[in-house]
């Protein structure tokens, strides 16, 4: 994937140097900190409700799922993997490092797509990119779907669960990493692992949060 950088994203990223993720030190990302100047991106959108830069932080569910994939490479090795709502790309990077045959990332934020390419290159991996909201349509031809922390709001959670149901119907399993957010469909999950991972914000300073990795199961 190759998405050109536009201003002011270029200048913001200059204040967000690549650094290792504390809980997943094998991976390095552009990570936000108090001096990153992310407000410049909001101002550039020119409206009162710009898309949040989810790609700028490590979320607990994504960190936990990345850790699980690196610790259990057999779950992705040789497989075609989709990182749904990829954000920073931490889960996709983990899948590539663990031996996935192909990693496809989906991200609706154009700034996020640009940063995904940079984060992939910084870790010596490559992604294929799908632009747009995949939850509205049929699943792509993959062997596994990875979902890092997409159950943070009711509408997103409902769309994600419906999409994962279509994946299961097509014979594609899904793994979810989440810090037990309110909209997590707990009745549909089988826990695979527990982690104490930093959640949202400066990962170097965030207090570890109770996170888990689950298999999404049919009703």
Domains and CATH numbers, the chain: 9-216 (3.40.50.150)
Ramachandran angles phi, psi of 56, nearest 5°: -85, -10
Tokens describing residue 104: 């496809």
Chain-centre distance of CA 45, in angstroms?
Answer: 23
| Statement: residue 36 has pLDDT above 70 | no
Average pLDDT value for residue range 4-30:
76
Average pLDDT value for residue range 141-164:
97
Cα dist from 68 to 17, 81, 101, 146, 161, whole Å: 25, 15, 18, 11, 21
Model confidence at 50, pLDDT cuts 50, 70, 90, reads: low
Model confidence at 84, pLDDT cuts 50, 70, 90, reads: very high
Query: pLDDT tens, 106-140?
Result: 988 887 788 898 899 999 999 998 878 899 889 99
* pTM for this model (two decimals): 0.89
User: What CA–CA distance (Å, rounded) separates 122 from 80?
Assistant: 21
pLDDT of 28 reads 95
Model confidence at 65, pLDDT cuts 50, 70, 90, reads: very high
Average pLDDT value for residue range 55-76:
94
| Statement: residue 162 has pLDDT above 70 | yes
| Statement: residue 216 has pLDDT above 90 | yes
| Statement: residue 206 has pLDDT above 80 | no
Q: Maximum Cα–Cα distance for the chain, whole Å? A: 47
pLDDT of 144 reads 98
- Do the beta carbons of residue 92 and residue 127 sit within 8 Å? yes
């Amino acid at each position: 994937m190759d998405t050109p950088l536009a201003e002011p994203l270029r200048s913001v990223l200059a204040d967000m140097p690549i650094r290792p993720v504390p809980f997943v030190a094998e991976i390095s990302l552009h990570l936000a900190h108090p001096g990153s100047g992310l407000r410049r991106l909001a101002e550039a959108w020119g409206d009162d409700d710009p898309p949040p830069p989810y790609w700028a932080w490590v979320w607990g569910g994504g960190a936990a799922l990345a850790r699980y994939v690196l610790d259990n490479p057999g779950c992705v090795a040789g497989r075609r993997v989709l990182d749904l709502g990829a954000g920073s790309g931490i889960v996709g990077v983990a899948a590539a490092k663990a031996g996935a045959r192909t990693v496809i990332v989906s991200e609706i934020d154009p700034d996020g797509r640009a940063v995904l390419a940079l984060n992939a290159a910084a870790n010596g991996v490559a992604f294929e990119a799908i632009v747009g909201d995949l939850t509205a349509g049929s699943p792509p031809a993959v062997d596994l779907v990875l979902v890092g922390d997409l159950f943070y709001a009711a509408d997103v959670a409902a769309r994600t669960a419906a999409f994962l149901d279509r994946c299961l119907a097509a014979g594609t399993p899904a793994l979810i990493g989440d810090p037990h957010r309110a909209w997590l469909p707990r009745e549909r999950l089988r826990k695979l692992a527990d982690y104490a991972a930093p959640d949202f914000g400066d990962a170097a300073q965030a207090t570890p949060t109770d996170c888990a990795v689950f298999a999404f199961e049919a009703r």
